[in-house]
A = this chain, B = another copy of it.
Amino acid sequence: MGATGAVGREIIEVLHDRNFPMESLRLFASERSAGKTIETPSGAITIENADSADYSELDIAFFAISGGWSKANAKKATDAGCYVVDNSSAFRYDDEVPLVVPEINTDAIGDSKLIANPNCTTAIAAIPLYNLHREYGLKKVIISTYQATSGAGAAGMSELTEETMNYLDGKEVKNKVFAHPIAFNTIPHIDSFQDNDYTREEMKVVWETRKIFSEPDMAISCTCVRIPTMRVHGESIVIETEKAISPEDAKKLLGETEGIDLKDDIENNVYPMPLTATKKYDVEVGRIRQNLVFGDHGLEFFVCGDQILKGAALNAVQIAEKL
């Protein structure tokens, strides 16, 4: 559902790439797109109208339209016996709905027919953080993000491209998708502001990490910043741990963690970057060092993850694989 959007299109690719055992793949989108035929790695498929889907014919539905649409349609699907993997934030904070990063908490699925996919920024940080938490106990987590324009969908990337061309041509730079021009700029504002003056994007990281880790009181904060990149969110992360931690041990642990590509060879200028993490399933982790503020109970590192993949499409397909 939402097969023509940035995440929908990526789900189609990932299903094919990972050889997901499909009897048939059906694509749904808004009425506007219904009837059009699109080429996919699984063959040419005609888009159907998502509003009139008969869920009794479907085993698993990926929802990637909008929160409102998910809210209006999820029950219809699950009542018909169809699993729903929802990419929106509609159900993420619902105690009845599991919020799942497959490397971490598949157990949480239980017999729920509806499973929520976390926010991209959460999913990318969760992989390294969870393993550090299990071994060393996280006391404090402080995150600052470097988020790509595709976090706002395909329109975000187009806006960056267009604005950049206009800027370089000396023409006026107009914005529509973002609150301000993003070309050669940074915007410390993603999603709406909350009562505590954090943005919703920042609070998503807080709420979702606590839920996925089953640590409702975890001390965690986040500043989310949009920067002029196309794909891949970067995150600068500082942690304080219960047990003493050394960068060497952390590198060993994270290097052996499923879903992580350790990129930590500073002598050869190897560290996580959008350039290398783009279209990669694994999250890149590097610049691992002993944090100067928390000393031998602190670690500082940088991660880069393709937020359309691990932050959305890949995580959704991984959930379906577990189902």
Contacts and interface: CB of A to CB of B under 8 A. Distances in A.
A22 B272 CA distance: 49
Of the four ranges (under 10, 10 to 19, 20 to 34, 35 or more), the interface on chain A belongs to 35 or more
Given A180-B273, A181-B275, A198-B292, A146 B219 contact: no
A131 interface: no
Nearest to A302: B188
* Interface SS of chain A: mixed
A272 B227 contact: no
A243 to B, nearest CB: 19
Interface string A171-192: 0000000011100111111000
A193 interface: yes
Given A189-B269, A234-B186, A293 B227 contact: no
Interface stretch (A65-73, A76-84, A100-108, A137-145): A137-145
B189 A271 contact: yes
Given A188-B271, A221-B292, 9 more contacts: A144-B223, A180-B275, A181-B275, A186-B229, A186-B234, A188-B234, A189-B287, A198-B292, A223-B238
Nearest to A288: B197
Interface stretch (A53-61, A160-168, A252-260): A160-168
Interface of A: 140-142, 144, 146, 160-161, 164-165, 168, 179-181, 184-189, 193, 196-198, 206, 219-221, 223, 225, 227-230, 234, 236, 238, 247, 266-267, 269, 271-275, 286-293, 300, 302, 304
A162 to B, nearest CB: 10
A250 B281 CA distance: 42
A186 B293 contact: no
25 contacts: A140-B293, A141-B293, A144-B236, A146-B225, A146-B227, A161-B168, A180-B273, A186-B227, A186-B274, A187-B271, A187-B273, A188-B286, A188-B302, A193-B266, A196-B289, A196-B292, A198-B289, A198-B292, A221-B291, A221-B300, A223-B238, A223-B287, A225-B234, A227-B229, A228-B228
A82 to B, nearest CB: 38
A250 to B, nearest CB: 12
